[in-house]
Amino acid sequence: MGKDNKKRQQTEERKRTTMKELPAGQGPYERCCQRGPGVLSDAELLSVIIRTGTRDQTSLELAQEILLMDGGRDGIGGLCHRSLEELMAVRGIGKVKAAQLLCIGELSRRLWRSRTMRDETKYREPEQIAGYYMENLRRLDQEHIYAMFFDNKQNLIRDVLLSKGTVNASVLSPREVLIEALKVNAVRFALVHNHPSGDPSPSREDCLLTKRVKEAGAIIGIALLDHIIIGDNEYISFKERGIL
């Protein structure tokens, strides 16, 4: 490296402000403690979690790089959809930091779903059911199928993840669904699953599974209300399509 280039690099390094070098009370951690987390930007919130940077980047710069993944299309919401490998591909993010960020994304999903369940326990329309699952399911790279179980007033009792992988009649049997329904004394239920392709159009296997589960439920008096397929920000309801 030439003397001029080396001198320029040293100048840049001296100019770089680390989190420890910020004036007292101006770092994200200090401002969070003094004024609350609401005053922090998305990048600053992440930097508090990340805590330490690298020799070349501050924790704030690492946080900004994470927010700009995929061109910054999702911003802070992207944390809900990142994988361990994607996060570790960011220079300065090791396995521990990546796992912490994954946990933040998962906590966010669970908090959102918990609030949704509390605020709207009666699910009378397909749109309500789709809305409950949309953010959680629309970007998964595997099919996940859930069952929602209701009492006789259509209050949600609980929801259960039934399977991960390809959804078809050979993978998920009506017996599994109905055992879960009987455990919670449900009188109605709905099926929900995602299509990783983003296209919610039902497949032949989707239709076959729905038919078998509906018929089995009818035998023991537990009605299938709907089967919702989640795509990328869109859904299809078997009830709305008149194919239930």
pLDDT in tens, 134-181: 877 877 888 899 999 998 888 888 888 888 876 554 467 888 899 999
Q: Rounded to two decimals, what is the model's pTM?
A: 0.57
Nearest Cα residue to 191 out of 237, 157, 234: 237
Angle 200-194-145 from CA coordinates, rounded to 5°? 135
pLDDT in tens, 97-142: 888 888 887 777 777 666 555 555 566 788 888 888 887 787 788 8
pLDDT in tens, 41-90: 888 888 888 888 888 888 888 888 888 887 766 677 777 778 888 888 88
Residue 15, pLDDT score? 39
Kindly give the pairing relationship between strand 188-194 and strand 156-164. Answer: unpaired
Distance, CA of 243 to CA of 210 (rounded, Å): 9
Burial 158-179 (b: 16+ CB within 10 A, else e): ebbebbeeebbbebbbbeebbe
Residue limits of CATH 3.40.140.10 in the chain: 121-241
CB atoms within 10 A of CB 57: 17
Residue 237, pLDDT score? 95
Residue 146 and residue 192 in contact, taking contact as beta carbons nearer than 8 Å: yes
What is the dotted CATH code of the domain comprising 121-241? 3.40.140.10
pLDDT band at 216 (very low <50, low <70, confident <90, very high): very high
pLDDT in tens, 5-45: 554 554 444 434 444 454 445 788 888 888 887 888 888 88
